[in-house]
Amino acid sequence: MTVALRGGFFVDFSPTKLYFRFIVNRTDSRAFEPTVSAIVVCFNEERHIGDCLESLRWCDEIVVVDSFSTEGTVEICRLNTDRVLQRGW
């Protein structure tokens, strides 16, 4: 799965390993504007995810990848960012 981030960057999520590969979109003709994107990978972190996301408020973008949590993790994430993806591993 490939997700587009701000600033012309993309991140690939491997279906078999927990790693991320960042790809720069060189066709973007806009001047490079440095941004910081945070990627949070989680599963059943209802007790801690709110504090985690609050500590990342300074980032330009927050992307959460959840592994189909069975409690309130996803709902808390959606209150803090609109970039919440679900991907099993």
- Per residue in 37-87, pLDDT tens? 999 999 999 999 999 999 999 999 999 999 999 999 999 999 999 999 999
- The angle formed by the CA atoms of residues 45, 1 and 52, to the nearest 5 degrees, is 25
Model-level pTM?
Answer: 0.66
Domain, as residue range, for 12: 2-26+34-86
Residue 14 has pLDDT above 80, yes or no: no
pLDDT for the residue numbered 15: 56
Q: Would you state the torsion angle of the CA atoms of residues 10, 11, 13, 14, taken in this order, to the nearest 10 degrees?
A: 90
Distance CA 12, CA 72 (A): 26
Q: Would you state the torsion angle of the CA atoms of residues 71, 81, 4, 52, taken in this order, to the nearest 10 degrees?
A: -70
In the chain, how many domains are there? 1
